[in-house]
């Protein structure tokens, strides 16, 4: 049963409830949520739930009807996110595990780890103990294999996962393994499940060869009941009459499990299909079906593999599959998890001179901040102003690549434009902030934007036929451009990119709309300065970092996202909570939710009042408003997504 405790329950009442449940042979697990705390009581229930409901401090009791208690959606309403050394399964990201079926030697593992890491995998797999159908097949390297797996993972910053086939192997694995795997053949080895569950470490539980979904969840219950809180379910195909593939991949299990359990779900397409040419299509299908991640076999030389070579991807096939996943993930509202590269040798820790953040990794004594565009971009100017010339600006191709650079460690921070006072919001970046759950806002800077018309030396305005700029640049100079209706407008990824293209062309009929700074960088002439429609033209940029990497001791702004049910008064009720908790709402933006027609996600910028105090107090105030917002919706039977994107300082330059 699930016992929902009163919000302001006294400690002595909580202890009495726990003692009463334990006295009746129930195991008690306390789960603290944002808006409520519950006791999950499991075991042979020999008491009437009404006896619990009348105890002081109990708000209500919810019986669990499923035979699997702790694994059920009734036990825990929100999805569990399993965090394995920073790699998350169950959030909005898709995490990919890759590596060979078996550890064979050091050279093979180091090359496998390199290929996996460079292509985008966030975890390394490799079997040290191999349960094989034939007693004459390669059985693995045992303890030596575990150590080689660990060495390769550490060399490329990857946590490691390997299969455990017997409890007697725990001493040899305990100091080396981040994530244990229970294979299909051992799914119902209940004594092994008890021993591994008691370790309290994360576990992947593969579906048995012919197991039903209920049998699978009952096996997960053994792990949860034995002590671990982190179980990842893995669909790897079931045995049917069909012989065209090694097994039959049951992707319908993913949406079925979503309704039954809070546990994250990944898919193993390699063991499902048994042939490398079919692995990538089924991996993509798994992502489309809603999987939280995939685990695939990849080998530097599959034809030389001692185990499962026929279903192991070549490194170039794995790289192609990862690129395809990058394209597919945003379509289904997901992002792809990225690993954090090991810190570069000789890096010195420095802090943010503006926000007072905790130290971040640096290159040559300076913080690295990524931005979209080339030399002379407004984002580069924002970096130089925000960090008072104390940071290195790293140019990237687009906004998404800025975020990827932060996630994979090439940059400590990223500078993203979020809105302009004339052209409005940069919707792509609003969507990016919601998509990546491992990114948060840690700062904000507002920069005055002054556009100029730049052209090759010798050009004149009368001779121009083409204008190049970012779409925002055109939008901010509409009055000037209206004077030249014959000009053809060519959109570029950035204003600095426009200047670079015009300079490279040498064409006197082309001009760029960009900052005057670009004239000196690219050898162009300034034909006209100050062509923006309104001199009060400002762009607000946000500074992003990896979630949890830095903190702001005295924030004055917050950005949050939330959703409401599509019914009268929902948004009104949500906004009233900001007033109730003393938060000044300075901007509200709505964006459509991908895959949910006519539903919208709201972005709210909040100015924290003077004297709020440190980030802990400020954070409590923001989260209190969101928790109450979520509770109102849940009372109506609607689950709202609420998230704090960042608590930070805003600066104008």
Identify whether the C-beta of residue 271 lies closer than 8 Å to the C-beta of residue 207.
Answer: no
- For 52, phi then psi, to 5°, come to -80, -40
Q: Which of 228, 367, 396, 539 is catalytic?
A: 539
Q: Which residues, including other chains, have CB under 8 Å from residue 647's CB and lie 6 or more apart? A: 552, 555, 557, 558, 615, 618, 619, 622
In the 8-state DSSP scheme, what is residue 292? S
Concerning whether 228 is annotated as a catalytic residue, the answer is: no
Token duo for residue 409:
């460690």
Report the C-alpha gap between 643 and 105 in whole angstroms: 45
Token duo for residue 565:
């049910």
Report the C-alpha gap between 154 and 148 in whole angstroms: 10
**Whose structure tokens read 């996600």?**
601
Report the run of H or E that residue 652 belongs to, with start and end. strand 642-652
Token duo for residue 169:
């192997």
Q: How far is CA 545 from CA 348, 389, 606, in A?
A: 18, 19, 19
**Whose structure tokens read 């900052």?**
515
Q: Which residues of 235-246 are buried (b: 16+ CB within 10 A; e: fewer)?
A: bbbbeeeeeebb
Q: How far is CA 44 from CA 15, 216, 222, 448, in A?
A: 21, 20, 14, 67
Report the C-alpha gap between 648 and 632 in whole angstroms: 27
Q: Which of 541, 559, 562, 564 is catalytic?
A: 541
**What three-state secondary structure class fits 112?**
helix
**Residue 28 pairs with which residues in a beta bridge?**
41
Report the C-alpha gap between 640 and 571 in whole angstroms: 12
Q: Which residues, including other chains, have CB under 8 Å from residue 99's CB and lie 6 or more apart? A: 109, 112, 113, 116, 121, 124, 125, 126, 297, 298
Report the C-alpha gap between 159 and 156 in whole angstroms: 9
Report the C-alpha gap between 420 and 554 in whole angstroms: 26
**What three-state secondary structure class fits 331?**
helix
The size of the chain, in residues, is 653
Concerning whether 539 is annotated as a catalytic residue, the answer is: yes
Identify whether the C-beta of residue 495 lies closer than 8 Å to the C-beta of residue 515.
Answer: yes
Report the C-alpha gap between 475 and 431 in whole angstroms: 20
3-state secondary structure string across 213-282: HHHHHHHHHHHHHHCCCCEEEEECCECCCCCCCCCECCCCHHHHHHHHECCCEEECHHHHHCCHHHHHHH
Q: Which residues participate in catalysis according to the annotation?
A: 539, 541
């Amino acid at each position: 049963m699930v016992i929902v405790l009163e919000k302001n329950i006294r400690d002595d009442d909580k202890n009495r409830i726990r003692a009463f449940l334990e006295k009746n042979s129930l195991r008690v697990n306390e789960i603290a949520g944002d808006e409520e705390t519950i006791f999950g009581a499991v075991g042979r229930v020999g008491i009437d739930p009404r006896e619990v409901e009348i105890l002081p401090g109990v708000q209500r009791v919810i019986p669990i009807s499923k035979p699997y208690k702790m694994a059920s959606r009734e036990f825990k309403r929100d999805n569990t996110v399993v965090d394995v050394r920073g790699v998350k399964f169950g959030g909005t990201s898709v995490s990919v595990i890759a590596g060979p079926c078996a550890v064979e030697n050091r050279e093979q593992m180091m090359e496998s780890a390199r290929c996996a890491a460079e292509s985008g995998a966030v975890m390394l797999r490799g079997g040290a103990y191999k349960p094989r159908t034939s007693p004459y097949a390669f059985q693995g390297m045992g303890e030596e294999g575990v150590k080689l797996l660990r060495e390769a993972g550490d060399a490329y910053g990857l946590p490691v996962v390997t299969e455990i086939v017997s409890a007697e192997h725990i001493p040899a694995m305990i100091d080396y393994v981040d994530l244990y795997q229970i294979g299909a053949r051992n799914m119902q080895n209940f004594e092994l499940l008890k021993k591994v569950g008691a370790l309290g470490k994360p576990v992947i539980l593969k579906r048995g060869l012919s197991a039903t979904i209920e049998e699978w969840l009952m096996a997960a219950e053994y792990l949860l009941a034995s002590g671990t809180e982190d179980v990842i379910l893995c669909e790897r195909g079931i045995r049917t009459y069909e012989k065209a593939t090694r097994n039959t991949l049951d992707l319908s299990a993913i949406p079925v499990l979503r309704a039954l359990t809070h546990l994250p779900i990944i898919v193993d397409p390699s063991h499902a299909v048994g042939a490398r040419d079919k692995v990538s299509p089924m991996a993509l299908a798994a992502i489309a079906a809603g999987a939280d991640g995939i685990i695939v076999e990849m080998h530097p030389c599959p034809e030389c593999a001692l185990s499962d070579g026929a279903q192991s991807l070549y490194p170039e096939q794995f790289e192609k599959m990862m690129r395809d996943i990058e394209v597919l993930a945003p379509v289904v509202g997901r992002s792809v998890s990225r690993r954090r590269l090991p810190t570069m040798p000789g890096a010195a820790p420095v802090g943010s001179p503006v926000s007072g953040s905790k130290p971040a990794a640096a290159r040559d004594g300076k913080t690295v901040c990524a931005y979209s565009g080339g030399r002379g971009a407004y984002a580069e100017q924002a970096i130089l102003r925000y960090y008072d010339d104390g940071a290195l600006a790293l140019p990237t191709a687009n906004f998404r690549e800025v975020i990827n650079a932060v996630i994979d460690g090439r940059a400590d921070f990223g500078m993203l434009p979020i809105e302009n006072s004339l052209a409005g919001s940069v919707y792509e970046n609003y969507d990016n902030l919601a998509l990546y759950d491992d990114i948060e806002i840690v700062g904000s800077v507002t920069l005055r934007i002054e556009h100029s018309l730049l052209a090759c030396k010798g050009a004149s305005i009368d001779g121009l036929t083409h204008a190049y700029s970012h779409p925002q640049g055109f939008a901010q100079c509409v009055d000037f451009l209206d004077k030249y209706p014959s000009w053809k407008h060519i959109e570029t990824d950035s204003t600095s990119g426009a200047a670079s293209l015009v300079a490279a062309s040498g064409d006197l009929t082309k001009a760029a709309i960009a900052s005057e700074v670009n004239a000196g960088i690219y050898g162009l002439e300034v034909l006209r300065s100050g062509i923006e429609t309104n001199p009060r033209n400002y762009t607000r940029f946000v500074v992003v970092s990896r979630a949890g990497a830095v903190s702001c001791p005295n924030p004055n702004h917050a950005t949050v996202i939330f959703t409401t049910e599509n019914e009268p008064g929902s948004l009104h009720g949500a906004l009233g909570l900001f007033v109730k908790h003393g938060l000044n709402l300075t901007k509200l933006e709505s964006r459509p939710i991908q895959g949910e027609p006519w539903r919208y996600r709201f972005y709210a910028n909040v100015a924290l009042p003077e004297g709020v105090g440190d980030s802990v107090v400020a954070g409590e105030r923001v989260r209190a408003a969101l928790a109450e917002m979520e509770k109102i919706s849940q009372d109506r039977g609607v689950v709202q997504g609420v998230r704090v994107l960042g608590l930070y300082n805003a600066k104008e330059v």
